Chain A
Amino acid sequence: MKHGPMRSGFAELIANLRALPGNVMASVNRSSTASSTRGRSQSVFGNVFLHIHSVRTHRWTLRPRFTMGLGVAAGMLFLMLVVSGAVLMIHYVPSVDGAYNSVKNIHFVVPGGRVIRNLHRWAAYAMVVAVFLHMVRVFYTNSYKKPREFNWVIGVILFVLTLALAFTGYCLPWDQLAYWAITIGANIAGSPAEVTDAIGITDTIDIGGFQKLLMLGSNSVGESALLRFYWGHCVVLPLAVVMFLAVHFWRIRKDGGLSRPDDIRDEELEGTPSEALAEEVFQPETKSYGLMCLVKDRTPAVNRGPERTVLSWPHVLRVEVAIAMVLLAAMLLLALFIDAPLKEFANPAVPENPAKAPWYFLAMQEIISYSAFTGGMVLPGITVLMLMLIPFLDRREGGTGRWFGMPGDRKLAGVTAIVMAVTVVAMLTFTITVGWLRDWFPDTNQILITAVNPGTVLAGFVTILTLGALAITGSTRKSAIVFFTCFLVSFVILTYFALIHRGPNWDFYWWPSMWPTH
């Protein structure tokens, strides 16, 4: 018997078992310690999840009042939605017969189901708000300027995808809200018929009917429509968001981090974390660009020293984790105390009255109540297109990375907001008290109403203001500020108006408590 090798084999095994936790951690982390500067750098670029961060982050990025954490918040909320959505998918049945009861089961029977569903609803609402405010932040800090034009476009696409996800999700419980939301949504897709009918070519070219058919998989709202919305909500749209998010994050890195001014004064950075290396100013000849020096053309880091940056680990990660925790706590609190609505089972014979869209679509619903095609397709389409075009139409440099970076920006935005608010309220007042073409001349040709209605009048006014600002100030940036502020103000006011002041039959009421009981 040979005792020696066997004993030493066991000794080695035991030693390995003892060292198991440490070795597993080291193999996962790829570096042994995160306490040294080198280790902290490695923990960022050696980790597939963390390496979307740069190793060092500029202190300007960490000013809370600059970003307000909105982009991170939107991303974290998306993460919460993916997780809670995956849980909901186990219990949800995507069929006309099963959907409503399965949602009821989630609410009343599944352990913790009520909280998960409520969390999903609240996180969805919060994500729409966060994405929207993030867009507002990026606009007013002038951060869409070269080289970040493309990332702004990706951002607008993500905003549209967020709304699409919210809408498709809203339809899944198959209650009265869901059924009539799908019905209205599908008929908006079918609204080009408003024009083709009026010129009498619907029998030949029925664009609206085709779009509607693709959306519903049928001419009426039923099983196939529900399945398509489910498929969109759980497969296609989340995948698209993940893809675009990947590009969005990647472009932040490639475009040189978050935007920041060229002329940062030291006192402006007070209150952000700092470290010894951040104070050091590197001389140009000591910079190393690695692969970047092998290729010609502009590189993101050229002429920008690494000074004033701090290690992303822990400074950025700490902030991100803090935002995630605060959000999760807030969403859980809301989920515990306020239930997501579930109305009666879908009834194709009796619409809800009023049949209101979810709040983030109410601005659109208000202009839809003037004309389906204009309000549901043309104006939203033009608005999204204009938002995407902003960075290509306004290429004026300066003021990047600061809220209202150029002199007069803040005042201009304020004045525009007041002018637009007065205009929107005046337009609404006129429409409610005096009416519109169809009320005066019932036989008006629909093309005229599609082209000239309160919605297009408002859009025309925005155009005049935007071009007027361009003519007076001679600055595309000022013009862009006027356009964006007009969009922002009319979106907020129309949403508020449709939420509070529209009642049964879409009539005007001062307060929901004044709605007639029926």
Chain B
Amino acid sequence: MTEQESKDQKCDRRTFMTGGGWLTALLGAVGMAGLGSVAGLKPRVLPDPSAQFKIGPPQDFPVGTVKVFEEEKVTICRDSEGMYAISLVCTHLGCIVTYNDSEQRFDCPCHGSKFTMLGKVTKAPAPRSLDWFKISTLPSGQLMVDRSITIPLGTKVAV
């Protein structure tokens, strides 16, 4: 190997520093452009409808009620132990489960998941049970459901 060739193959300090500088600048520019683009795609304000909605006073829901709020995709139930709000959005891929009156359960039309009346999953592919939402009482005596707060399955509110 001649001296010239060995020089060609070795990377001297100047080449290393210059190359490293360029590489850092390039990675920085591309990285910032990439991060900026992704950050731009992620909205800061979500145009979603409010997660909270009022459902009226407790006396509208006598024991044994199963009332479906179609637009909010929630069903409100009341039994002797209290009230609870179950999401109707299937935990598999977001289809809307339907209340099956004859079998007393919720069926998902898209991929056949099935849930008990308490939202517990009994048939795949749904990976988990239906969400339970928090119900609170407003000072006016009205009940309010907050779809942004999920609570453990089986947490009923005495009213």
Contact = CB atoms under 8 A, between A and B. Distances in A.
Given A214-B42, A438-B123, A449-B127, A219 B111 contact: no
Given A184-B95, A351-B110, A437 B124 contact: yes
A218 B44 CA distance: 9
Centre residue among B42, B71, B120, B124 by max chain A CB count within 10 A: B124
- Chain A CB count within 10 A is highest, among B47, B73, B93, for B93
B111 A506 contact: yes
B125 A353 contact: no
A85 B96 CA distance: 33
A162 to B, nearest CB: 23
B96 A350 contact: yes
Given A224-B47, A450-B127, 4 more contacts: A191-B93, A198-B127, A222-B47, A506-B109
- What does DSSP make chain A's interface, helix, strand, loop or mixed? helix
Interface in A190-245: 191, 194, 197-198, 210, 213-214, 217-220, 222-224
A220 to B, nearest CB: 5
B38 interface: yes
Interface string B51-94: 00000000000000000001101000000000000000000111
B25 to A, nearest CB: 25
Interface of A: 180, 183-184, 186-188, 191, 194, 197-198, 210, 213-214, 217-220, 222-224, 348-355, 365, 368-373, 436-439, 442, 446, 449-450, 453, 504-507
Given A198-B127, A369-B112, A442 B120 contact: yes
Interface residues of B, number: 30
A372 B125 contact: yes
A438 B121 contact: yes
Nearest to B100: A505
B109 A438 contact: no
Interface in B24-57: 38, 41-43, 46-49
A353 B109 contact: yes
A214 B35 CA distance: 13
Interface string B8-20: 0000000000000
A335 to B, nearest CB: 30
Nearest to B49: A220
B123 A372 contact: no
B122 interface: yes
A352 B108 CA distance: 11
B48 A218 contact: yes
B109 A355 contact: yes
A438 B70 CA distance: 28
Contact of A183 (B94, B121, B124): B94
A352 B109 contact: yes
23 contacts: A180-B95, A184-B110, A187-B92, A217-B41, A219-B46, A219-B48, A220-B48, A220-B49, A222-B48, A349-B96, A351-B109, A351-B110, A354-B109, A355-B109, A369-B125, A371-B127, A372-B93, A438-B123, A439-B124, A446-B128, A450-B127, A506-B109, A506-B112
A180 B127 contact: no
A478 B111 CA distance: 37
A180 B110 contact: yes
B42 A369 contact: no
Q: Which 7 A-B pairs have the closest CB atoms?
A: A353-B109, A438-B124, A506-B112, A187-B93, A369-B111, A187-B94, A446-B127
Nearest to B109: A353
